[in-house]
Structure formats: structure tokens, C-alpha cells
């Protein structure tokens, strides 16, 4: 593929100005989407996105791009479904081919417990207006012919949930689409600018301190994914987040063989075939907390051996690369969006292993929260307060590892 | 778990063999692992046992000494040739080295050790030019490998071009083996020979040997010249040779008929494994990267040592000295009594200083970019032409990583090992300064300021089959109906 698939110009590389109405910390998918919707939906353009590396060089560049909205609880289903609806119009909105492919997402059930949970989830989804179907083993096999459902594997397939509207998209196009849109509306995207501290007086944030100097801000919105808790600590906040390495791998190019996304929570893997033909496989989360962007091999080994039982035909496929990203996981595996005890400092984090799919929705509600100073209705249940009130939204079943 | 060995050495060139032997002589349990069918590395590459070479020593200096070292080693350590290491992991006090043995039917093999010495050498650095993907165009390292490893003379009418002192031994070797070497074209200027660093390093005989051999075979050595285009329909038939100005812009050209071109612009240390482990790197002033080591060849990662080209490109003699220092340091660190050897240390320092000077004497100048045309492939694996790289830059990409994501340059089979340098230069960065070039990206790695295109984190150093990754390389028996022997003999995998 040549760069001809892209529009003519992406973005400027401006120097930071001394002050902005809104400073967004983190130029991943969520930070860029937030900037775009601030400008597009709310007309707020005196905005800078500060990124310590390059735009979308963090988890946005490392994720396996699974998109779906079949989460269990009403609150989650609402925000992820809002996101999925945005995905469905996003290439047109951003005038950029995001290669969003709604090829269907299968979640496999390997035990009677999985079957019960899967059916329950399908019912819950349908009640929430999220498309969902239950397939028995034969139907799953018919939908994905290379899947080994036989009863002799360690993890026999007893059935699967299917969300036909789920799928994958091209992650870098998504980031660049938002970046280009935000830039065109006047947002400054500043790369190579690390936020090292905050200036807080009278309980209110006044400025961020960065590797490029002090930048004053009316509102500071964190969108730093795996590094959020470190950053928040510099503002004196302790967030209930833990950082874990999450691994993935990509194979050599193959002819098209896999027509959908297949996920298995029990086995902790998910597989799809990207547009160019490489298999993209996600492995599970490493059990220990770490900031080193490398995972441990035993995790991959165990998961790949299980994955090969599901897909024996991939045994000889060559892996050309593996990698890991740091994901930020909250105690109930749901995100944290909203205000903090520091006035003017907002947080959007804890998307853990599944925030790529949420990029448009997260940016949308975060921008609204920033613009209006009160949580967007879809974001309200995800406030920091829930860890003191106890109104948790436990999505471990839907999001523990898989996406 | 007790590790299998005290020391695992990766690389069986002069550095690795010297390191392994020194450690084994100090009483350590040592395993040496190399991908090639026979020990030797780049310089002492030798034909596989089945071949009969009349006088293999004629192809390299010091071969007898190296051969003796290999023989000594064979009785004292386990030598695993034909084993490709695809990943190393460090866990507390031990390292785990994962390899694949064999060619077509690869078998996985895992080795554990208390200490690790990385002596993985370097690879050629090609620069792109129109026609560089034609059959008949190869790197000097490849031409030398064919000659030394397979006793194949690559072609009859050969042009040697590029930059750096190692063009000479390659040309001399080819000429001695019967090829008609039409010329050696050193882009950096002929003064390189007069000030030839081999002279400075006391390698007078060697330098003169090459000079004399080249003279005997009437091989002209030309400075400020480069091959700027290769021509041919399906195979190489002739090349365009240009006179260059200081910055390597062509000023006059002519064509020369030939069937082989050996062309390369220096070497890049093989850094996949050190980067995997997180070893600190340094960028030389002229932009190349190598692993940082102390006087005992210890890297910044405890328990991991590096020697030879891994610490900077500098020739076989330096590689051997570093290997010996590393072997001694490992033995000392594991409690063996090893008296210091100040002579060896000074020798290493002198050779290393000289190697740095050598790197500085043969810089790559920017004019090569002008040799390219819009349709010249920059990345061969993904067939990305210059035009696509330019488009990525016009789109606003300011670093090699964005160029890569936009154009797919460097995303194929070799993962940027061949084109990484060129792509970062074209992206406007110095390859070393272009810190995180190639990091990130889907499947990317660690941002590592000050590191270059070679320095992105690659958790696997070689493509590996999923089945091997899963540790299930052998086909499991097809499960029959329950209770059949096939299933009974299959050990339960459920944990
Ligand atoms: C291997 C892997 C697979 C995944 N698979 C999926 C999937 O299939 N589906 C899915 O929905 N999700 C998936 N995810 C999760 C998803 O990638 C993340 O939830 C999401 O990308 C996080 O939001 P982001 O894009 O804004 O994060 P990032 O891209 O990580 O952006 C955060 C940015 O903040 C910057 N930053 C941090 N600290 C500072 C500072 N001090 N100053 C300035 N900038 C700073 C970082 O450099 C980074 O660019 C996966 C994640 C991983 C690691
Ligand atoms: C064309 C050319 C001409 C040269 N001419 C001269 C000369 O005339 N005089 C001189 O002094 N020097 C010369 N050199 C340089 C000399 O070859 C090197 O300095 C020397 O070989 C370096 O030794 P080493 O032990 O560091 O690495 P190498 O000799 O390169 O050995 C590295 C070994 O590591 C193995 N290896 C690497 N990665 C893996 C892996 N993942 N798994 C398993 N094994 C692995 C390789 O198979 C290789 O055998 C020349 C080099 C070239 C390319």
C-alpha cells in the first residue's frame, strides 16, 4: 500500500504557546479524539494536546483494534454502544478511510459456566439495544470455518456470542484522522512535550510544567492511559489504577483465511486477520504490575498453545514480531472519567485492555465534560466517586482480558 | 531451578569463541550457540564439513589460530551450531535462551545459564540506489560469505563499491579466488588508503597484503566513486559508476559491464538481543549504535556481557580481545580466581580507539539521496518506493516511525534491518538522533532516546513459528475416539 491512501496533509508541528484554555495531556487516541470533539462539537479551539513522544505512539499504536459494544452492564453498554455508533460514521466524519470493517466478533464459550454467562450477556445486550446472537458450536463453526470446535481439545467450543456489528479498524488511520481534524480546527498538537508536574494554587490547577516549559491552562485534561497514575500522583492524587503489560503479536502475511474476530476469555486470546493479511493476536495481561513495555514469555507461550488448539492451521505461521503495551486497569475493570478533587483537573483513564474501541465515545463524552464542567450523562456513572460510594460497574467478565 | 550452564555465549565468531574458551578454561560450564552450520562468524566463516577447501587459510589471516581455539573449545564446552536464538529473557539470577535448531524442520531448544555473553556480530549496511534489488547485486558481507562459507565465487566480472576498509579484503578474496574484479570504488575518497587505519593499528602486513594482492590482480582502487545505478533485465548486466563530489553528489558518470556488484556502506551491530534485554546503547558521533560496556565487557544489565561487533564495529582482532576480556570477567564475577591482564585491557582500548577512528574516517555523506528516483525501492521486503516515503514526509511525518506507518517501509520480513538506516536518513533525522525510529508502531517497541533505527525493542530476534512459540512444535497425534492409544499416549496438558 502506498501513502496515496492518505489525504494530502496531516498536521502542523507548532511550538507551544504560553497559555491555552484547555491542555490535554497525552496524544493517544483518546486525547486526540477529545481535542477533535472539543473543537467540532463545542467550538473550543484554544486547545493544546501535549504528547511526550509522537502522536499515537503509545497504546494506540500497540493495540489489536478489536471493536465491539457487547458489554454486560447498562452503563458500559451505553457508552460502548455510543462509541460503536460513532465508529459507523467515522470515516465519513473525518474524511479519512479508517478501514473500519464490521466483520463480526465471536466470543467463545468453553464451559457450561461460559455458556450461561454468554447467554445472559446476549439477553442483556438485546435489552440494551446492542445487537447480539447466541450461536451453538455448529453455528460458530459455520461462521468461522477454520475454528476447531471438536470435543477433544483442552478448550472445546460449546457455543459463542456473536456481535455482527463488531470488527476492526486501522489504528493509525484513526489517530491521524482525529489529529488532522483537530489540527484543521486550530488545535495545537505538540509532540516531544512531556508533562512533568502541575502548578496548583488554592486547590485549582493553573498550569502544567513540561519539558518545553510552563504552559498555563484553564482546564487540564489527563488522557495518558497507562501512565495516568504516575501523572496524577504529581498532582497529589492517588488513583485506583494498576498498570500491567499486555502483549500482542503479528505474523507474516497470509492469504485471507480468517473472516471475523475470534476471542476467548478462558484461553485469553483474540485473533483477527488485518487488512494486509497478517494475523494479529492478542495475549493476556501479565499478572504483575510493571512499566517496562515488555511482557513475559510464559504468558504468550501458554496462550498460544491454547490458541493453536482452536486454530491448528496456524501452527506453521511465522510470527515476525511481538510487543507489549502498558494498560491501566481499575478495580472494577471500567474506566474512570470526570472531575477530580483538584479544580480544573480532569481525568479519563482506566480503559485497560479495551479502550481502542471506546476512542470516539470516550473523546465525545470527555470533551463534553470538559466543555460544560459537569459529567456527560454517559460518563456520570464512571466518576471517581464510585470507589467511595461502592457503585462499581464490574466488567471483569466482559473485559478482564479480552476486548 | 538451577541453570544448565554458568555461561551461555551467543555468536561463534572470534569474539564468542574467545569468550567461551576463556571462560571454559577458567572452569566454567559453557554453552556456545551460533546460527551457522560451523563456527567462524563473519570473518572466519568456513565451509561446512562436507566441502573440501584446498587452502582455506588463504582466505583469512589468523585462521589457524581460530581453528585451534575451536578445537580446544569443543572438548571443554557444549557447542550448538545451527541454532538460531530468537529470544532471551532474564529472570532474577538466570537467563533463558530460546533457539530453533535445524533448517526446514526446526526444533525448539531452550538453554538456561547464570550469565550471558552476546557476541552476535554485525550486518552490512546497504544504501538504496536504482537497481539495487536486481539479482547479481549483493552486499560485501554476502559476497564474502558465499566465498568463505560455500566456496562460491559470486560472478565472473565483479565490481566492488561502497565505503569502508572491509571492501579491500572482500575484493582481494574474490580476486584470489579467480573472479575478475573490475575495480574497488570507495565513495569516501582514496586518501582513506594512504591514512589507512590498518597501518595505524599495526596491521601493516595485512593492509599491504591486500594492496599487493589487489595490485597483483590488477584491481584498480578508486576514491570518490560510487555505483549510482545498476542495470539489467532480470539480472545485472552493467552498472553506472559516478565520480562524486565531497558530499557524494555525482559529477560525471560512465557505465561498466559486469555480472556482479558487491556494494555496502559499512556495518551495523546486530542489536536485537541486547535491546530485548534493555542493555544501554550509545550512539557514535557518526551515527552508529552499539552496546555500552565497562572494562570487563559488562553491559548495563546485570549478568549480561557483550563483545565483538556488538559493542562497535572494529575487526576480528579487537573482537577476539573483547571476547577474552568478557570470558575473564564472567569467571571473576562467578568467583573464579582470575588475575587481571592489563596488557590485554590496554590492547583492547587501543584497538577500540582505532576502531572509532576508522568509523569516523568513512562517514556516509548525504549526496546518496540524490541517486534515488521516485520508483527506486527503498524497502525491498514491502516494495516501498522512494515516492511513497516522500509522500509520507509531505503528509507531515517528521520521524522514521511515522514514515514507516504511512508507507510500510521496514514492516516486512527483515523488520527494517536493511532499510532502517536509509529510511531514517530520508525522514530527515540522523539515524542515531532519530531516537525512536521504528519504535512504537503496531508491533513497535520501546522509545529509547538516543537510539537509532536498529534500536527498537524487538521481542523476537528471528521469525518464529506460532507452534514453536507455543512450545508445541511437534504435531500432536490426531485425537481419536476417547480411549484409543493415541490419546492415552498423549500426556495430559491440563495443568
Ligand atoms: C497489546 C494491546 C492490545 C490491545 N487491544 C485492544 C483491542 O483489541 N481493543 C480495544 O478496544 N483496546 C485494546 N487495547 C487497549 C487500548 O489500546 C487502550 O485502552 C487505549 O489505546 C488507551 O487510550 P489512548 O489511545 O489514549 O492511549 P495511548 O495511545 O497510550 O495514549 C496515551 C499517551 O499519553 C502520553 N503520555 C503519557 N504520559 C505523558 C506525560 N507525562 N506527558 C505527555 N504525554 C504523556 C503517552 O506517550 C501516550 O502517547 C489494547 C492494548 C494493548 C497494550
Ligand atoms: C565483508 C567483510 C570483510 C571483513 N574483512 C575483515 C578483515 O579483513 N580484517 C578484519 O579484522 N576484520 C574484517 N571484517 C570484520 C570481521 O568480520 C568482524 O570484525 C568479526 O567477524 C567480528 O567478530 P564477532 O565475533 O564480533 O562477530 P561475527 O564474526 O560476525 O560473529 C557473529 C556470530 O553470531 C551469530 N549470530 C548472530 N545472531 C545470532 C542469533 N540470533 N542466533 C544465533 N547466532 C547468531 C552469527 O551467526 C555469527 O556467526 C570484515 C567483515 C566483513 C563483513
Sequential DSSP letters for B30-61: EEEE-SSSSS-TTTT----TTS--S-GGGGST
- The continuous run of DSSP H or E covering A304 comes out as helix A297-310
Residue B478: predicted pLDDT: 39
Beta bridge partners of A351: A329
- pTM listed for this prediction: 0.72
Instruction: State the pairing for strand pair B78-80/B30-33.
Output: parallel
Residue B230 neighbours by CB distance under 10 Å: 23
The atom number, within ligand 1, closest to the CA of A168 reads 8
- Chain B residues whose beta carbon lies within 8 Å of the beta carbon of residue A321: 415, 443, 458-460
Query: pLDDT tens, B220-250?
Result: 888 899 999 999 998 899 999 999 999 999 9
How far apart CA A219 and CA A342 sit, in angstroms, is 11
Nearest-CA residue of chain B relative to A294?
B459
- Chain B residues whose beta carbon lies within 8 Å of the beta carbon of residue A295: 459
**B208 and B248 within one domain:** yes
pLDDT at B383 over 60: yes
Burial class (CB in 10 A: 0-12, 13-18, 19+), B352: middle
Rg (CA), chain A: 21
C-alpha cell of A81?
454502544
Q: Do A3 and B388 touch (CB under 8 A)?
A: yes
Q: Do A304 and B446 touch (CB under 8 A)?
A: no
Query: pLDDT tens, B331-368?
Result: 999 999 998 899 999 999 988 888 777 777 788 888 99
Tell me what the mean pLDDT of segment B396-412 comes to. 72
Assess contact for B151 and B51: CB atoms under 8 A: yes
Q: Please tell me the residue having the least CA distance from ligand 1 atom 31.
A: A28
Ligand 1: lining residues by beta carbon, under 6 Å: A 25-31, 50-53, 56-60, 62-66, 194-195, 223-227, 231, 246-248, 282, 325, 327, 351, 353-357, 403
**B102 and B203 within one domain:** no
Ligand 2: lining residues by beta carbon, under 6 Å: B 10-16, 33-36, 41-43, 84-85, 119-122, 140-141, 144, 166, 169-170, 270, 308-309, 315-317, 319, 461-462
List the domain boundaries for chain A. Answer: 14-64+171-241+331-399, 103-166+242-329
Give ∠ CA A353-A359-A365 in degrees, rounded to 5: 115
> Which of A106-110, A300-304, B282-286, B435-439 shows the highest mean pLDDT?
A106-110
The atom number, within ligand 2, closest to the CA of B43 reads 17
| Percent of chain B with pLDDT strictly greater than 90 | 41
Tell me what the mean pLDDT of segment B11-23 comes to. 97
How far apart CA A21 and CA A220 sit, in angstroms, is 9
pLDDT at A301 over 90: no
Instruction: State the pairing for strand pair B107-118/B304-306.
Output: parallel
Tell me what the mean pLDDT of segment A169-195 comes to. 94
pLDDT at B460 over 90: no
pLDDT at A342 over 60: yes
Residue B47: predicted pLDDT: 64
What does pLDDT average to over chain A? 89
What would the 3-class secondary structure string for A326-391 be? EEEECCCCCCEEEECCCECEEEEECEHHHCCCCHHHHHHHHHHHHHHCCCCCCCHHHCCCHHHHCC
Facing residue for A3 by CB, picked from B395, B458, B466 = B395
Burial class (CB in 10 A: 0-12, 13-18, 19+), B239: buried
Residue A83: predicted pLDDT: 98
Q: Please tell me the residue having the least CA distance from ligand 2 atom 26.
A: B308
**B220 and B289 within one domain:** no
**B112 and B141 within one domain:** no
**B251 and B176 within one domain:** yes
- The continuous run of DSSP H or E covering B344 comes out as helix B342-361
- Chain B residues whose beta carbon lies within 8 Å of the beta carbon of residue A172: 405-406, 442
Of A384-388, B13-17, B321-325, the least confident: A384-388
Facing residue for B443 by CB, picked from A2, A11, A321 = A321
pLDDT at A230 over 60: yes
Q: Do B442 and A7 touch (CB under 8 A)?
A: no
Query: pLDDT tens, A344-370?
Result: 999 999 998 899 999 999 999 999 999
pLDDT at B21 over 80: yes
Query: pLDDT tens, B84-127?
Result: 998 898 887 899 999 988 776 778 899 999 999 999 999 888 89
**B168 and B119 within one domain:** no
**CA nearest A56: which of B441, B491, B423?**
B441
Q: How far is the CA of B298 from the centre of ligand 2 (A)?
A: 20
Note the CATH number of domain A14-64+171-241+331-399. 3.50.50.60
Facing residue for A319 by CB, picked from B442, B445, B463 = B463
ipTM of the complex: 0.72
Better-predicted residue by pLDDT, A297 or A340: A340
Q: How confident is the model at residue B489 (pLDDT cuts 50, 70, 90)?
A: very low
For residue B450, the domain's CATH number is: 1.10.10.1100
How many structural domains does chain B have? Answer: 3
How far apart CA B367 and CA B184 sit, in angstroms, is 19
Residue B455: predicted pLDDT: 38
Q: How far is the CA of A13 from the centre of ligand 1 (A)?
A: 21
C-alpha cell of A348?
479519563
Residue B461 domain-assigned (yes or no): no
Contacts A–B by Cβ distance under 8 A: 152
For residue B260, the domain's CATH number is: 3.50.50.60
Facing residue for B467 by CB, picked from A53, A280, A315 = A315
Under DSSP, is residue B123 helix (H, G, I), strand (E, B) or coil? strand
> What phi and psi, each to the nearest 5 degrees, are found at residue A349?
-155, -175
Residue B71: predicted pLDDT: 93
- The continuous run of DSSP H or E covering B122 comes out as strand B122-124
> What phi and psi, each to the nearest 5 degrees, are found at residue B323?
-60, -45
Assess contact for A30 and A223: CB atoms under 8 A: yes
Tell me what the mean pLDDT of segment A175-179 comes to. 94
Rg (CA), chain B: 23
> What phi and psi, each to the nearest 5 degrees, are found at residue A307?
-60, -35
Q: How far is the CA of B202 from the centre of ligand 2 (A)?
A: 21
Q: Do A294 and B457 touch (CB under 8 A)?
A: yes
Ligand located closest to A360 CA: 1
> What phi and psi, each to the nearest 5 degrees, are found at residue B477?
-60, 140
Of A143-147, A340-344, B133-137, B418-422, the least confident: B418-422
Q: Do A307 and B470 touch (CB under 8 A)?
A: yes
Residue B390: predicted pLDDT: 84
**B334 and B261 within one domain:** no
C-alpha cell of A36?
477533535
First to last CA, chain B: 19
What does pLDDT average to over chain B? 79
| Percent of chain B with pLDDT strictly greater than 70 | 77
- Host domain of residue B162: 126-265
Q: How far is the CA of A28 from the centre of ligand 1 (A)?
A: 6
C-alpha cell of B436?
525512536
Residue B53 domain-assigned (yes or no): yes
Q: Which of B230, B265, B300 is the last residue of a domain?
A: B265
| CATH architecture label of A103-166+242-329 | 2-Layer Sandwich (3.30)
Which residues fall within 8 angstroms of residue B159, CB to CB, at 6 or more apart?
B181, B182, B183, B185, B227, B239, B241, B256, B258, B260, B261, B262, B263
CA dihedral (B170, B172, B174, B178) in degrees, to 10, reads 180
B409-415: Cβ within 8 A, 24+ apart: B409/B378, B409/B379, B409/B382, B409/B384, B410/B379, B410/B382, B410/B438, B410/B453, B411/B379, B411/B381, B411/B382, B411/B441, B412/B379, B412/B380, B412/B381, B412/B382, B413/A252, B413/A320, B413/B381, B413/B463, B414/B381, B415/A320, B415/A321, B415/B458
Tell me what the mean pLDDT of segment B286-313 comes to. 91
Residues recorded for chain A: 403
Q: Please tell me the residue having the least CA distance from ligand 1 atom 32.
A: A224
Q: Do A322 and B443 touch (CB under 8 A)?
A: yes
Residue B378 domain-assigned (yes or no): yes
- Chain A residues whose beta carbon lies within 8 Å of the beta carbon of residue B404: none
C-alpha cell of A45?
479551539
Nearest-CA residue of chain A relative to B383?
A1
How far apart CA B382 and CA A175 sit, in angstroms, is 23
Residue B358 domain-assigned (yes or no): no
Residue B473: predicted pLDDT: 38
Which residues fall within 8 angstroms of residue A123, CB to CB, at 6 or more apart?
none
Q: How far is the CA of A60 from the centre of ligand 1 (A)?
A: 5
**B92 and B20 within one domain:** yes
The atom number, within ligand 2, closest to the CA of B307 reads 26
Residue A226 distance to chain B (closest CA, Å): 14
Nearest-CA residue of chain A relative to B487?
A152
Residue A246 distance to chain B (closest CA, Å): 12
Residue B493 domain-assigned (yes or no): no
**B297 and B234 within one domain:** no
Amino acid at each position: 500500500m502506498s501513502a496515496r491512501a492518505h489525504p494530502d496533509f496531516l498536521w502542523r508541528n507548532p511550538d507551544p504557546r504560553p497559555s491555552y484554555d484547555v491542555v490535554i495531556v497525552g496524544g493517544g487516541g483518546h486525547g486526540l479524539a477529545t481535542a477533535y470533539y472539543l473543537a467540532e462539537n463545542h467550538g473550543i479551539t484554544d486547545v493544546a494536546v501535549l504528547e511526550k513522544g509522537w502522536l499515537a505512539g503509545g497504546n494506540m499504536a500497540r493495540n489489536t483494534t478489536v471493536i465491539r459494544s457487547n458489554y454486560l452492564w447498562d452503563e458500559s453498554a451505553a457508552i460502548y454502544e455510543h462509541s460503536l455508533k460513532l465508529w459507523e460514521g467515522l470515516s465519513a466524519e473525518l474524511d479519512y478511510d479508517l478501514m473500519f470493517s464490521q466483520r463480526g466478533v465471536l466470543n467463545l464459550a468453553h464451559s457450561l459456566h461460559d455458556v450461561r454467562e454468554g447467554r445472559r450477556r446476549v439477553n442483556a445486550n438485546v435489552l440494551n439495544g446492542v445487537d447480539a446472537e447466541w450461536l451453538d458450536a455448529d453455528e460458530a463453526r459455520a461462521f468461522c470455518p477454520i475454528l476447531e470446535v471438536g470435543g477433544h481439545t483442552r478448550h472445546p467450543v460449546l457455543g459463542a456470542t456473536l456481535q455482527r456489528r463488531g470488527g476492526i479498524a486501522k489504528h493509525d488511520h484513526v489517530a491521524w484522522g482525529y489529529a488532522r481534524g483537530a489540527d484543521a480546527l486550530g488545535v495545537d498538537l505538540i509532540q516531544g512535550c512531556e508533562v512533568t508536574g502541575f502548578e496548583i494554587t488554592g486547590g485549582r490547577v493553573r498550569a502544567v510544567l513540561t519539558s518545553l516549559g510552563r504552559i498555563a491552562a484553564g482546564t487540564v485534561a489527563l488522557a495518558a492511559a497507562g501512565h495516568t497514575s504516575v501523572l496524577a500522583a504529581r498532582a497529589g492524587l492517588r488513583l485506583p489504577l494498576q498498570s500491567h503489560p499486555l502483549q500482542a503479536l503479528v505474523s507474516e502475511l497470509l492469504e485471507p483465511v480468517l473472516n471475523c474476530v475470534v476471542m476467548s476469555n478462558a484461553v485469553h486470546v483474540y485473533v483477527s486477520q488485518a487488512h494486509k493479511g497478517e494475523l494479529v493476536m492478542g495475549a493476556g495481561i501479565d499478572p504483575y504490575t510493571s512499566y517496562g513495555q515488555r511482557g513475559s514469555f510464559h504468558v504468550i507461550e501458554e496462550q498460544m498453545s491454547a490458541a493453536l488448539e482452536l486454530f491448528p492451521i496456524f501452527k506453521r505461521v511465522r510470527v515476525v514480531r511481538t510487543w507489549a503495551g502498558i494498560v491501566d486497569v481499575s478495580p472494577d475493570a471500567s474506566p474512570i472519567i470526570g472531575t477530580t478533587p483538584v479544580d480544573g483537573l480532569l481525568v479519563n483513564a482506566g480503559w485497560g485492555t479495551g479502550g481502542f474501541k471506546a476512542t470516539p465515545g470516550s473523546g465525545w463524552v470527555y470533551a463534553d465534560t470538559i466543555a460544560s464542567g459537569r459529567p456527560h450523562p454517559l460518563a456520570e456513572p464512571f466518576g471517581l466517586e464510585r470507589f467511595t460510594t461502592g457503585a462499581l460497574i464490574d466488567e471483569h467478565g466482559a473485559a478482564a482480558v479480552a476486548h | 531451578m538451577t541453570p544448565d550452564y554458568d555461561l551461555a555465549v551467543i555468536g561463534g565468531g572470534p569474539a564468542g569463541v574467545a569468550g567461551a574458551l576463556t571462560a571454559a578454561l577458567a572452569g566454567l560450564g559453557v554453552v556456545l550457540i551460533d546460527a551457522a552450520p560451523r563456527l567462524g562468524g563473519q570473518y572466519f566463516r568456513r565451509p561446512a564439513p562436507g566441502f573440501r577447501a584446498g587452502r582455506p587459510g588463504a582466505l583469512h589471516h589468523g585462521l589457524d589460530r581460530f581453528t585451534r581455539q575451536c578445537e580446544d573449545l569443543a572438548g571443554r564446552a557444549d557447542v550448538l551450531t545451527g541454532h538460531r536464538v530468537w529470544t532471551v529473557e532474564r529472570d532474577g539470577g538466570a537467563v533463558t535462551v530460546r533457539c530453533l535448531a535445524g533448517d526446514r524442520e526446526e526444533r525448539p531448544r531452550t538453554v538456561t545459564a547464570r550469565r550471558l555473553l552476546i557476541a552476535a556480530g554485525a550486518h552490512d549496511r546497504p544504501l538504496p540506489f536504482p537497481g539495487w534489488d536486481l539479482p547479481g547485486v549483493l552486499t560485501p558481507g554476502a559476497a564474502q560469505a558465499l566465498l568463505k562459507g560455500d566456496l562460491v565465487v559470486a560472478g565472473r566480472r565483479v565490481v566492488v563499491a561502497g565505503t569502508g576498509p572491509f571492501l579491500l579484503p572482500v575484493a582481494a578474496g574474490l580476486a584470489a579466488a579467480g573472479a575478475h574484479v573490475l575495480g574497488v570504488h570507495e565513495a569516501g575518497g582514496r586518501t582513506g588508503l594512504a591514512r589507512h587505519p590498518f597501518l595505524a593499528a599495526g596491521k601493516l602486513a595485512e593492509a599491504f597484503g591486500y594492496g599487493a594482492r589487489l595490485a597483483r590482480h590488477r584491481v584498480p582502487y578508486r576514491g570518490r566513486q560510487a555505483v549510482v545505478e545498476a542495470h539489467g533485465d532480470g539480472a545485472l548486466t552493467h552498472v553506472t559508476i559516478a565520480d562524486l563530489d565531497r558530499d557524494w553528489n555525482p559529477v560525471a558518470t560512465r557505465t561498466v559491464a559486469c555480472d556482479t556488484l558487491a556494494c555496502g556502506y559499512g556495518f551495523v551491530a546486530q542489536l536485537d538481543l541486547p535491546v530485548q534485554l534493555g542493555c544501554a546503547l550509545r550512539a557514535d558521533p557518526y551515527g552508529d549504535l552499539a552496546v555500552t560496556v565497562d572494562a570487563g565487557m559488562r553491559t548495563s544489565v546485570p549478568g549480561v556481557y557483550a563483545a565483538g561487533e556488538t559493542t562497535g564495529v572494529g575487526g576480528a582482532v579487537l573482537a577476539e580481545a573483547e571476547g577474552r576480556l568478557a570470558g575473564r570477567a564472567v569467571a571473576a564475577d562467578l568467583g573464579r580466581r582470575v588475575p587481571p591482564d592489563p596488557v590485554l585491557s590496554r590492547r583492547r582500548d587501543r584497538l577500540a580507539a582505532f576502531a572509532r577512528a576508522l568509523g569516523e574516517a568513512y562517514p556516509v555523506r548525504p549526496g546518496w539521496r540524490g541517486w534515488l528516483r521516485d520508483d527506486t525501492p527503498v524497502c525491498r521486503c514491502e516494495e516501498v518506493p522512494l515516492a511513497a516515503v516522500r509522500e509520507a514526509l509531505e503528509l507531515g511525518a517528521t520521524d522514521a516511525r511515522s514514515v514507516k506507518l504511512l508507507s510500510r517501509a521496514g514492516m516486512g520480513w527483515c523488520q527494517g534491518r536493511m532499510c532502517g538506516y536509509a529510511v531514517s536518513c530520508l525522514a530527515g533525522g540522523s539515524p542515531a538522533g532519530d531516537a525512536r525510529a521504528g519504535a512504537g508502531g503496531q508491533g513497535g517497541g520501546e522509545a529509547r532516546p538516543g537510539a537509532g533505527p536498529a534500536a527498537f525493542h524487538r521481542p523476537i530476534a528471528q521469525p518464529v513459528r506460532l507452534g514453536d512459540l507455543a512450545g508445541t512444535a511437534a504435531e500432536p497425534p490426531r485425537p481419536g475416539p476417547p480411549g484409543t492409544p493415541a490419546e492415552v499416549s498423549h500426556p495430559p496438558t491440563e495443568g
